[in-house]
Structure 1
Amino acid sequence: MTDPTSESTPSAAPKKRRRWPWLVAALLLVLVLAGAGTAWIARQHYIQPGPLAADATLVVERGSGVQAIARQLESAGIVRRHWELLIAARLRESARRLRAGEYAFPAGISLKGALDILESGKTVVRRLTIPEGLTSAQIVELLRAETALSGEIAEVPPDGTLLPETYHFSYGDNRAELLGRMETGMRELLAQAWEKRAPDLPVATAEQAVTLASIVEKETGVAAERPKVAAVFVNRLRLGMRLQSDPTVIYALTEGKGPLDRPLTRADWKLEHPYNTYFIAGLPPGPIANPGAESIRAVLNPDNHEYLYFVADGSGGHAFAETLEEHNRNVAAWRRFQREQGQPAEEVE
């Protein structure tokens, strides 16, 4: 009979050998779980809210590399550490897709969100409003004063060639190019309005229409009055009467360089100057300002009435008259209003 222990010895060795695959598998599982955990943590860090406390804008200059952009975002408090953005940018292969420009970052934006914005190229849209009735020199000064624009303007365009309205631009856009957009806007608007003009107007060209529109623009700031004021000047031109517009006298005195720092006098009306419509008959040689679209349309489609005179009425608008006698009564009412308001009386023709 054999010893029972002789059979148990050989069977124990194989059981020991079978534990190694389990240990290897367990180790691999731990590594996989650790890697997955690290990836999950990294992913959460990538999409979690960032440190930016309030909405902010940032200008990324042309030629900035990913390192410079990352440090810029860290300095601005948009990301916690610049190297985190560097790693994320390289992992998503976006280093070459980051674009220059001015960007808006909302408060708490994530690392992912910051990279999305920088890759999108959707820069901040700025606005520059050009008021109606400015001279071209004044408009050029507005462009030169806008620090978000770049480049120089070599020449001031002639008055009446720029369209006043609100223009959209991005940081770093060229001043001369924006000025070119104003010139294009005026040409296109004038061509469309000229095609739709009323018949038998006393203006022979679109350029003359702009000249008359510039006078209307300076005479009234009330939009609803423009066709009415335009019709007064149209009536005068048809009758061969002088326009007698004070803004043309001011333009003659200042050479279009800016406002006059004093009231007009009767001596000013006698100034011998091609832009003084108290001195010359008909239209002046060119526009005295850059009129807006509504003034141009008003001149090309004026109201139908018989008024030949108008004067301020104290409400911001004007009182209109067909006869000189009626006009004189309106002038007396205007002077009475000025006295009651303690205003110095203006000379009125």
Structure 2
Amino acid sequence: MWRSLASNALTFLVVAVFVLAGVMLWAQNEYVDKGPLTQAICVEVPRGTTMFKVSKTLEAQGAVSNGSIFRLGADYTNKSQALKAGSYLVAPGASMSEITDVITRGGASTCGTEVVFRIGVTRASVQVREINPASGRYEEKASFNPAEGEAPEVYKAVLNRSDTRYRIALAEGVTSWQITNALKSIDILEGEAEQPAEGALAPDSYEFVPGDSRESVLTRMKEAQELILARAWENRADGLPYATPEEALIMASIVEKETGGDGERGLVASVFVNRLDKGMRLQTDPTVIYGITKGEGTLGRGLRQSELRKATPFNTYVIPALPPTPIANPGRASIEAALNPESTDFIFFVAKTLDPRDGHNFAVTLDEHNRNVAAYRALERANQ
């Protein structure tokens, strides 16, 4: 009898071991096999949440077939305690293993809402964008000028969401006054902001979180510009008419304000370098305008003859050199163009059409330049 019981128990144990092994193998395959999602979704991981709650969310969204297996797999790979708050894009067919990696890897959110504070040359704006999981692209939900009234409800609603990302985007050619003034209007930043020197800030995109100080944001912009200028100065062409990196930065700011075309920056820089080499005046309107506005907004009208004749430190129709400071914050491309300009004999340039995006006609001689100017004036008259 005892032998029979022992034999039956052993048989049962063997069967149980095989069943358990089979279940484990099945669960392992379920964890790494293709998931049930047929289209991408966004999964939010709130701060302080647990893997249990996330697994329930994933089950409800149809991203995993079995929340228990998902949790067991996360435990087995030591990732249960490694959740990273944010909002993440989960691709169609993502396995439980891949989803676990996405929500525990960390880094910037790949899904959810983004608020972009754009600081442009002519205006500042706030854009609220939300990613479309199906396309993986951000779609605009609202856009407004913070200086022109109350923010829309869409903006107010996303401020309290854990998956909202915040970014400041600086356009090339904005002034330090424009940047500092715009930062003061961003109500989720804190502290005072002292206006940096002109040209000291790098136009780029900067992520931040609510509660960051305005000075910390400005510091990041300054450090970025210092690095760009230092590298460009180290790799500069020979024989340039600049004694210091600061003079190169002044030239870069002029190039930035004279052209918005990436393909023309080196040509425009060559014109001004050639003029300096020949002892000629730069004769560029943007420097005169900066002398009038001090970078505090746009002029909003044409220059008067009296302003072009008046002797000021920024009137390059009068002074035979660079102005004393940059006239804007130039981007990387303009800094590199100023320090590695095209090799040309051009001395003059004028716009090809009334649309600045169409670029310029360049000339070596005054006669050729006068013909280009005459063609441009004819376009002006035809437009009027």
Task: Compute the TM-score of the two structures, normalised by the length of structure 2.
Answer: 0.65
Q: Structure 1: state its 5+ residue gaps.
A: 1-15, 345-349
Q: 1:311 aligns with which of 350, 357, 375?
A: 350
CA contact (8 A) 2:27 2:69 kept: no
Corresponding position of 2:229? 190
Greater RCO (CA < 8 Å, at least 6 residues apart)? 1
- 8 A Cα contact 1:249 1:277, kept in partner: yes
How big is each residue's C-alpha offset from its partner over 1:122-152, in whole Å with a ceiling of 9 and x where there is no partner?
65579987553333455678989999x9877
Structure 2 Cα separation of the partners of residues 233 and 67 of structure 1? 65
Q: Which residue of 2 aligns with 1:330?
A: 372
Change in 2 beyond 3 A, CA 1:123/1:74 = farther
1:46 aligns with 2:31: yes
Identical-pair percentage:
42
Aligned ranges 1:20-99 → 2 under 5 Å: 20-74=5-59, 76-79=61-64, 85-99=70-84
Give the equivalent residue in structure 1 for 2:105.
Answer: 120
Per-residue deviation, residues 273-311 of structure 1 (Å, max 9, x unmatched): 543434555322311222233433433344555544321
Contact 1:54–1:106 (CA<8 Å) still a contact in 2? yes
User: Displacement of 1:215 after TM fit?
Assistant: 0.5
Distance 1:30 1:200, change over 3 A: closer
In structure 2, the residue matched to 1:295 is 334
**Residue among 181, 197, 217 paired with 2:256:** 217
* Count of residues in correspondence between the two structures: 325
Identify if the C-alpha distance between structure 1 residues 32 and 231 changes in structure 2 by more than 3 Å, giving closer, same or farther: closer
Change (3 A) 1:225 1:38: closer
1:268-287 to structure 2, matched below 5 A, reads 269=308, 274-278=313-317, 280-287=319-326
Structure 1, 120-129 or 81-90: larger mean CA deviation: 120-129
- 2:173 pairs, out of 129, 133, 158, with 133
Deviations 1:202-226 (A, max 9, x none): 4332111111111012212344433
Secondary structure at the aligned position of 1:97 is classed as coil
Would you say the 8 A contact 2:194–2:215 is kept in 1? Answer: no
SS of corresponding position for 1:320: strand
2: CA distance, partners of 1:282 / 1:271: 16
**Structure 2: gaps spanning 5 or more residues:** 111-164
In structure 2, relative to structure 1, the CA distance for the partners of 1:151 and 1:33 (3 Å cut) is farther
Secondary structure of the corresponding residue to residue 290 of structure 1? coil
Q: Which amino acid aligns with 1:217?
A: E
| Conservation of the 8 A alpha-carbon contact between 2:36 and 2:63 | yes
C-alpha RMSD of the superposition = 4.3
CA 201–37 in structure 1, closer or farther in 2 if over 3 Å, else same: closer
In structure 2, what is the equivalent of residue 10 of structure 1?
Answer: none
Q: CA deviation at 1:232?
A: 2.8
Residue 242 (str. 1) matches residue 281 (str. 2): yes
Q: TM-score, normalising length from structure 1? A: 0.70
In the TM superposition, what whole-angstrom CA distance separates every residue of 1:236-292 from its partner, at most 9, and x where no partner exists?
A: 345554322122233344432444444445455356754343455532231122223
Q: Distance in 2 between matches of 1:263 and 1:228?
A: 25
* Alignment partners' CA distance in 1, 2:83 and 2:99: 10
TM-superposition CA deviations, 1:180-209 (whole Å, max 9, x none): 454334323323433454555443321111
Contact 1:235–1:308, Cα closer than 8 Å, also in 2: yes
State the shift of 1:337 in Å.
2.6
Verify the 8 A CA contact 1:103 1:122 in the aligned structure 2. Answer: no
1-side partners of 2:373 and 2:96: how far apart? Answer: 69
Question: Of the two, which has the highest radius of gyration?
Answer: 1
Q: Distance in 2 between matches of 1:88 and 1:301?
A: 55
The worse-fitting range, judged by mean Cα deviation, of 263-272 and 170-179 is 170-179
2:196 corresponding residue in structure 1: 157
Per mean C-alpha deviation after superposition, the further-off stretch among 288-297 and 133-142 is 133-142
Residue 94 of structure 2 is aligned with which of 105, 109, 124?
A: 109
1:13 maps to: none
Q: Which has the higher helix share?
A: 1
Give how far 1:101 is off: 4.4
Aligned CA distance change for structure 1 residues 152 and 327 (closer, same or farther; 3 Å): same
Instruction: Name whichever structure is richer in strand by fraction.
Output: 2
Task: Name the aligned partner's letter for residue 289 of structure 1.
Answer: A
